Amino acid sequence: MLDNSLLTDLFTPSSFGAISTANRIVMAPVTRSRYGEDGVPGALHATYYAQRASAGLIVSEATNISPQGRGYAATPGIWNDAQVAGWKQVTDAVHAAGGKIVCQLWHVGRFSSVELQPDGGAPVAPSAIKAEGSTYTTEGFVPVSMPRALETKEIADIIAQYVHAAKNALRAGFDGVEVHSANCYLLDQFLRDSTNHRTDQYGGARENRVRLTLEVTEAVVAIWGGNRVGIRLSPVTPDVGNTPLDSNVMDTYGHLIGELNRFELAYLHVVEGATGGSRAVPENVDLDQLRAMFTGPYIGNNNYDLNLAIDRRAQGKIDAVAFGRLFIANPDLVERLRRGKDLTIAPRESYYNGGAKGFTDWPVASL
């Protein structure tokens, strides 16, 4: 019987900071849109995550830190007691199955609609620059709304939202948290000079544009310890919102990574290329060079297959690999990869919405 564990150490135990894992295969955050408007997880979600607990580490689907941070209907939250209790069902189930799970802390910033915001307010952003595209509401898809620029005095409240969510994640029994500073959501909007036209201490020079991500990370580390906090970056993706890249990716993100090192984080999780798309990067960007600047474990993400993961692991370019869509229809993905079993490809219509169908009804492979 084929055993790919003889070819690589991706299937052997490892650790991300203080989080010990059974292997170096990570389940990436995958939005599945199977929540009510209260954003409370339940037994169905506990089953879903527990089925995939053979991943060395599960990163939860993006989880709203506050009502203001919400940009899509049918997504989970972690700002109130009911949501904490729901996530406790999930973490208990994952732990009972031998897995580890961290909560991805999410504020969408400008990519939202007045239909989703508290009291019908405008979404908040570093600057009043509208994103492209539409988002999902209970009434269907609607264009995203024009955001308003956060006032300087409001930044403290944004950080407080992350702190509140991080404390709730601790109460919910997660093994750690991941700061979502990627995919053109709020923190990434502050990083990029294409979306950040501020003139205060959070805009202008790169040192100012990275400030909010660093302040949020520092505040979360104060709760969890750096060895249980990861961060996700996506230096070259235009999604969401068809967002232009920063004018100097290497300089901005290189400076950010250098500053992040002082927190001794559990890991850096990077979308290598365009989220869910091409791995191609602009000629003036070298993601491996950015990776080399980080002093802790590095998780590579985006359109990996096993051969690419084995190759980049052998070259020392990744410490672990994250798979997203492949975990949808292959709850036993780690074992399938290790044994060279065929992988099931989930149809796109099963990605979002619905109940158990296309969510928890995928079979494991026969051995």
CA quadruple 322, 327, 331, 336: dihedral positive or negative?
negative
Q: Is 354 left (phi over 0), alpha (psi -120 to 50) or beta?
A: left
Catalytic residues: 185
**Close Cβ partners of 22 (under 8 Å, ≥ 6 residues apart):** 13, 54, 56, 98, 99
Give strand pairing partners of 167. Answer: none
Give strand pairing partners of 19. Answer: 16
Q: With 0-12 CB in 10 A as exposed, 13-18 as middle and 19+ as buried, what is 19?
A: buried
DSSP3 helix / strand / coil % (the chain, rounded to 5):
35, 15, 50
Taking the C-alpha atoms of residue 122 and residue 124, their distance in angstroms, rounded to an integer, is 6
Strands (E), 80-123: 101-106
